[in-house]
Amino acid sequence: MRSTITLLLYGGFAALGAASAPAAQARVPATAIGQARGAVALDGDLQAPVWRGAPTLTLLQQNPFPGRPTPFRTSVRLLRDDGHIYLGIRCDDPDPAKIAVHTLQRDGDQSNDDGITVVLDTFAQKKLAYAFQVNAAGAMADGVISPGYLNADTGSPVDYSWNGYWRAVTKRDRRGWTAEIEIDVRGLQFSSRQNRWGFNMSRYVPRAQLTLAWSGISLDAQATDLQREGHVTNVAGLEQGSGFQFDPYGVVRHDDGQGVSSHAGFDLKYNVNPQLAGLFTFHPDFSDAPTNLLNVMVSPYAQSVPETRPFFLDGTNVFTFSHNLGRYFIPFYSQTVGLRDGLAVPANEGVKVLGHAGAWTLGMLDMQMGSSEVSQATNLFAGRATYNISSRWRVGTLVTHGDPAGLTDNTLASFDSTWSTSTFAGDKNLSIAAWGARSSGQVTAGSPDGYGIDIAYPNDLWWMDFSYNDYGTALDPAMGFLQRPGTRQAFADINWQPRPPAGSALSWVRQFDIYGTYTLVTDASGRVESEDWKLIPLQGITQSGWSGYLEVNPSYEVLTAPYEIVPGVTLPAGNYRFANVLAGVTSPPSHACWVTLEAERGALYDGHYEASYPALNLSALHGRLNVALQSALVWFYGPQGRGSVRAQQLKMVYSFTPDLSLQSLVQYDTVTRAVATNTILGWIIRPNRILHVVWDHGLTLNPNLLQGRQTLTGTTLLVKLDWGFY
């Protein structure tokens, strides 16, 4: 195995030379931002005198036919004053009645909406950037982009936990729609002496599955790929904020059986310099965080849970470790801070540092935890630093210290290196990443080391990923997540994604995706513990937006201990070989109503397994109302008995305006046999002044129904007001 890693490393870094071979370099577009001569009124009217003579750029078709003319013509005008950047965007549409809008909610899912995305790389280093999205109804979403970050649920490279100071107004007419965007740069980090920023824009038309962009006109590109960004100039001298931000909050809550209580706290933020910010928090409160969706995963291994608490989401991109490491090893897993065994642990105070200094990106979190029935009072620390050796090569380190239970003196030190390019063999994407880690203070015998490598070739026709990871038996990230310590894991994923030519018998198909994955897991001695194939002989998406797949999944699994696969049915330890078939179909998500039907059937361990996962999504009232109904239905029949798990969840969101929304989640499952509800009224008075009214009943802090402890909460009603100053 070690010799294989050596060969992979040698071959991977030898590719650097190939990437530097002479090739036609893509043109990097550049433009200057104009100076506004007068006030810019946000009303969607681009005929106002202030826009006359403003520098204008044009978006080109990127997908499905790069550079080809399209009736969805899009032009963008750019202006600035002392403290703002303005964009005036004209989006032509040959049939405006078919413009799709599914949400008005702030930071809502706009992936199936007609909309615009703006990317600003204020340090022009191709590593970190801000993203601003506006759909045709004026709904706003914003976040940050950084290397290695990928939302595990949506696949988006944008971390939407960040909220900036900006406004957007849209207007429809017979030609299509317009948008005016005002970005207050006091909410950004940048150097006022720097006169060039990285910049890109894209427009998406969901009914045509068509994307236009300014820079990176290739099927292998997207606007959030910072390696393909363009440049804007005339940004020097923009005003920056005072550096101070004070966010006090108060909470009043009523708990069933406990009565009324209240408490207060605050966040204090100070920009040490325009690139580096420090944050102190006193009695942080997480009551406004939405609950996680229930997860029915028929697996004997622990599953990671997505973070939903805003305090920990802020800076998630900075703490992301290595490239494509996935869900199986997370050196710093924020769910360990404030949560243990499905129970909340109080946090007294904490310090956080986030920012950039030259080629450095820094993140630090230090939290003083109070005692609880499942943990002792303790201090928890996590620190992350990355350094950009070049625009393509980044190295970093991540250190954690502390045990959330307060029982051991645990430390984890790790290192990672990522090299990526968009010009491999001319214009292809390639990433090569390696990592290493060591823990101390653990009580388990064995190696405390871990290491791995990943080589990714994520392009349109061929999408490939190869990785190898070795996790020592005693590797113990107490503040992290490690699914299977003491294992070696090899992974290969090869996708062939052809596009049938126009006029052919298959031209009704937009793109096929035929692929296979192979996962091999062994113990430290090389004995096989898991072997899994996923073979997709048929998968694709049609020109009208229908998609479907057929998957064959042969597997081999060794259970080292008895496993309760469903309530009341326990499998004995032993070796199992089995196979099943999966199939699914999804109607066009650009429509106001769309459905997904997925089903599995076949052998599982020594029994028979059937499962279905239907989902219904509805958008109405021009995006104000969103309804999502999802079910998971699992049946298992084996020699040890038969059992089932059923879970249903209904999520509804009504947006009165883009800044005022009411969302409610109702869930039921046959494991806890409880109806759980989480309802939140959120009003963004200003970006840093927010009112939340929350009603909870019967929630579990562990959404993995078949793994770990399930402790249900009672009924709670609370009001939280965050009133910030800057």
* pLDDT tens, position by position, 673-697: 889 999 999 998 887 788 999 999 9
- pLDDT-based confidence at 403, cuts 50/70/90? very high
Mean pLDDT of the chain: 89
Above pLDDT 90, what percent of the chain? 62
Partners of 144 in the β-ladder: 130, 159
Residue partners of 397: CB distance under 8 A and separation at least 6 = 384, 385, 386, 413, 414, 415, 416
Does 243 have pLDDT greater than 70? no
Question: With 90 as the cut, is the pLDDT of residue 28 above it?
Answer: no
**Phi-psi map region of 446: left, alpha, beta (phi>0 left; psi -120 to 50 alpha):** left
Q: Provide the pLDDT for residue 116.
A: 97
What phi-psi label fits residue 259: left (phi over 0), alpha (psi between -120 and 50 degrees) or beta? left
Residue 145: name the closest of 215, 240, 229 by CA: 229
For residue 274, what pLDDT is reported?
62
Mean pLDDT of 148-159: 75
User: Regarding predicted confidence, which is higher, 334 or 521?
Assistant: 521
CA distance 634 to 636: 7
Q: Name all contacts of 3-8 with Cβ < 8 Å and 24+ positions apart.
A: 4/468, 5/451, 5/453, 5/468, 8/453, 8/455, 8/466, 8/468
Q: Is domain 33-233 given the CATH code 2.60.40.1180 in the classification? A: no
CB neighbours of 97 closer than 8 A, spacing ≥ 6? none
List, for residues 37-91, the tens digit of each pLDDT value. 989 988 888 989 999 989 999 999 999 999 999 999 999 999 999 999 999 999 9
| Domain residue ranges in the chain | 1-26+304-482, 33-233
**Radius of gyration of the chain, Cα coordinates, nearest whole angstrom:** 26
Q: What is the pLDDT of residues 188-239, one digit of tens each?
A: 888 888 899 999 999 999 999 999 999 999 999 999 999 899 999 999 999 8
Per-residue DSSP letters for 100-135? -----STT---TTS-EEEEEEETT-SSS-EEEEEEE
Is the pLDDT assigned to residue 566 strictly greater than 60? yes
User: Which of 200, 185, 224, 166 is closest to 76 using CA atoms?
Assistant: 200
> Which pLDDT belongs to residue 397?
96
pLDDT in tens, 286-331: 888 888 888 888 888 888 888 888 778 777 778 888 877 767 899 9
As a 3-state breakdown, the chain gives helix, strand, coil percent values, each rounded to 5, of: 5, 55, 40
What is the mean predicted confidence (pLDDT) over 578-592? 96
Cβ atoms of residues 516 and 540 within 8 Å: no
Stretch among 156-160, 441-445, 594-598 having the lowest mean pLDDT: 441-445
